[in-house]
Amino acid sequence: MTTAQASKRVEFKNVLFLTDFSEPSSDALPFAAAIARGYGSMLLAAHVIVPSGYAYMSPEAAVSFLDDQEEGAKTEMASVEARLSGLSPETVIERGSNLWEVVCHLLKERDVDLVVLGTHGRTGLKKALLGSCAEEVFRRSHVPVLMCGPEARVGAHSGGRFRCVLFATDFNTVSSVAAPYAVSLAQENQAQLLLLHVLPLPKPGKAIKTGELSIAEATHRLEDLVAREAELRCRPRTIVEHGEPVERILAAAKESGADLIVLGVKGIDRMPNAATRVQKDTAYEVVAHAPCPVLTVRG
């Protein structure tokens, strides 16, 4: 991974807030509003109506059901718009065969450069049975996605200004895409930047494998991620620990009081057994259990 360019500033000109009017969506709304205010962004709030309970209805009943859903969505969207007072947001309610189909269209049509949404953070059997709309979005989106999971602290954003940004990396090409966002957001917010690398747990009586980094080597590589001329409030703090990645990332976020975690993620085309949606993945598990919002950038 090369040094993140200090000159590359993040600009969020068009923010897409996706809502299903659930509690997680309600928790994510203040983040979308605060970012839009802070960056002077155009804000688009969108709700997507997709086939579900009416799949086995007659065509006439399905149309009536859809119409009722749309009327209910209009009422809910009016409440969302009221909470975004002063931002003059645009609101849309779309029908589609699936969520991603509509989101993909909006990303292209509206030149979106940030997606914000809440997620129920389903894991295990619930995720296997119901899937995760949030995961499909962040694994397919070509722009960063900011997600609030069920354990994200409401109000942790401090008015949308992040005070402590945690960037977790394993030094691969996926992580390298996310590094400039972590550095730039820390610069914009004059936040403490934490750089974390998790080493595998050493096996008793066995030597370190060839190519495996030592703590000193990993620390040096973390320090090299940020250019010396980066306009940060203070030099980044590096953390190198042995353990399980999800466990150590979540622990570091809680111990440091991080109010944003930044991760590079694989696209859905690079996920083995993606169709089954049962495998544990570091990025999704972090999103599901993080005490703060998580910004993912697809590599």
For 18-22, 67-71, 144-148, 246-250, which range has the lowest pLDDT when averaged over its residues? 67-71
Q: Does 167 map to a domain? A: yes
Separation between Cα atoms, residue 129 and residue 112, nearest integer Å: 31
pLDDT confidence of residue 64: 72
Domain around 43: 14-298
Tens-place pLDDT, residues 185-233: 998 888 999 999 999 987 765 655 555 789 999 999 999 998 877 778 7
Looking at residue 178, which CATH number applies to its domain?
3.40.50.12370
For 69-83, 107-121, 131-145, 239-253, which range has the lowest pLDDT when averaged over its residues? 131-145
- Rounded average pLDDT over 74-86: 94
Crossing angle (nearest 10°) for helices 99-109 and 133-140:
40
Q: Does 24 map to a domain? A: yes
pLDDT confidence of residue 62: 62
Two structure tokens written together for 149: 């999971």
Q: Does 9 map to a domain? A: no
Q: Does 220 map to a domain? A: yes
Identify which has the larger pLDDT, 220 or 128.
220
Bridging pattern class, strands 42-49 and 90-95: parallel
What are the residues whose beta carbons fall under 8 Å from the beta carbon of 197, sequence distance 6 or more? 168, 169, 170, 171, 213, 218, 221, 222, 239, 240
Tens-place pLDDT, residues 94-106: 988 889 999 999 9
pLDDT confidence of residue 262: 97
Tens-place pLDDT, residues 239-251: 999 999 999 999 9
Domains identified in the chain, total number: 1
- Rounded average pLDDT over 130-143: 83
Q: Does 263 map to a domain? A: yes
Q: Does 2 map to a domain? A: no
Q: Does 159 map to a domain? A: yes
